[in-house]
Amino acid sequence: MDSISQFVLGAGVALAISPVKSRRIALIGGALATVPDLDILVQYDNELTEFVSHRSFSHSLFVLALLSLPLASGLKKWQTNLALSYQQWLWVCLGALLTHPLLDSLTIFGTQLFWPLPVKSVMIGSMFIADPLYTVPLLLSLIILLIKKRMPVVLGYSLNTLTLGFSTFYLVLSLVLQSFVLTTQSYPDAINDTHTRFAMPTPINLIIWRTTVKGDAYFYESFYHLFKGSSGWKKIPHNQNNYSLKNNIGIDKYRYFSHGFYRLSVKDKQLLMSDVRMGTIALPIFSFVVAKKVAGQWQNIPPRLYDYGYFGFEKMFGGQTIF
């Protein structure tokens, strides 16, 4: 999810674990929670490799657990005034670091929780990349702590405990609603149980959900409103078997990275590979140029991002309105 959500979650988790409930602990927890996203500083050969490599080694539960060991040792050495033991620092580091990839895995982008094992990324898709209803309570709790220097108690519970409880409930609710959407709506006759699918919420809400199904030759898409029902199904050919390309590294990487949710299309004699998990199947947010036509033949090229120009945020709701 977004950096603010990760920071405030890390701060809240650190406060919950640490016996010392101070502003410094919260800020250290928030800083630790941003560490996995430092992989954006790594340079790769091309934009596609850079894209698919995000949330890989730096989001591995194994790597982060190992990283917690020296971080806990360093914090015990440098933060002596907080008087936490090595074991207490270790639990703080584990909590702040590991919750980052676990939260990311609830989005549709894909998180390689078990790197370097040959296991596909986890892309549950029950949460949008940013959701104020999840983030704002945690953020307000942190701001109050920073201003008042102590965490308020509400109805006998720490405000941090209450906001962490609410945010956790919100995540569980997203999973329940996702399952409801996938099992409740009706599907076209061309779709059967063997076809892979996902449902994800549209931006900043859990009311309107976008369901995408990969059929034999088409992607199918529907927008489902919890109170108004489905918008109906649209389809678009994925063209994954329609172009004679050999040894195209970009397509091979993206097929694995996207769990097969990509489509191929031609624009200006360029072959585009588009990720249909983000945006819509007709207008995806991320597309890459992977080949160009030369003398009537497709020629592989180093992959690069394709700029569609203005995307149109409103199109991500499929014509539905929340209220």
Q: What is the pLDDT of residue 208?
A: 95
Taking alpha carbons only, the member of 93, 103, 77 closest to residue 14 is: 93
Rg of the chain (C-alpha set):
22
**What is the signed CA dihedral for 189, 195, 201, 206, rounded to 10 degrees?**
70
DSSP letters for 61-126: HHHHHHHHHHHHHHHHHH-GGG---HHHHHHHHHHHHHHHHHHHTTSSS-B-TTTTSS-PPB----
Q: What is the pLDDT of residue 248?
A: 81
Q: What is the pLDDT of residue 212?
A: 97
Q: Give the Å distances, CA to CA, from 91 to 16, 18, 19, 64, 94.
A: 11, 8, 11, 12, 5
Q: Which amino acid belongs to residue 90?
A: L
How confident is the model over 277-290, as pLDDT tens digits?
998 888 888 999 99
8 A C-beta contact, residue 263 and residue 281: yes
* Bridge partners, residue 279, by sequence: 284
Q: What is the pLDDT of residue 173?
A: 98
How confident is the model over 173-193, as pLDDT tens digits?
999 999 999 999 999 999 999
> Which single residue is written with the structure tokens 């990487």?
253
Number of residues assigned to the chain? 323
Q: What is the pLDDT of residue 46?
A: 84
Q: What is the pLDDT of residue 227?
A: 94
Q: Which amino acid belongs to residue 316?
A: M
CA atoms within 13 A on the CB side of 60: 16
Q: Give the Å distances, CA to CA, from 141 to 11, 31, 57, 263.
A: 10, 16, 31, 43
pLDDT tens digit at each of 323 positions of the chain = 999 999 999 999 999 999 999 999 999 999 999 999 999 888 888 888 888 898 999 999 999 999 999 999 999 999 988 989 999 999 999 999 999 999 999 999 999 999 999 999 999 999 999 999 999 999 999 999 999 999 898 888 999 999 999 999 999 999 999 999 999 999 999 999 999 999 999 998 999 999 999 999 999 999 999 999 998 999 999 999 888 777 787 888 888 999 999 999 998 889 999 999 998 888 888 999 999 988 888 899 989 898 776 556 666 777 677 75
Residue 245 CB-density burial (10 A; 0-12 exposed, 13-18 middle, 19+ buried): middle
Q: Which pTM does this prediction carry?
A: 0.92
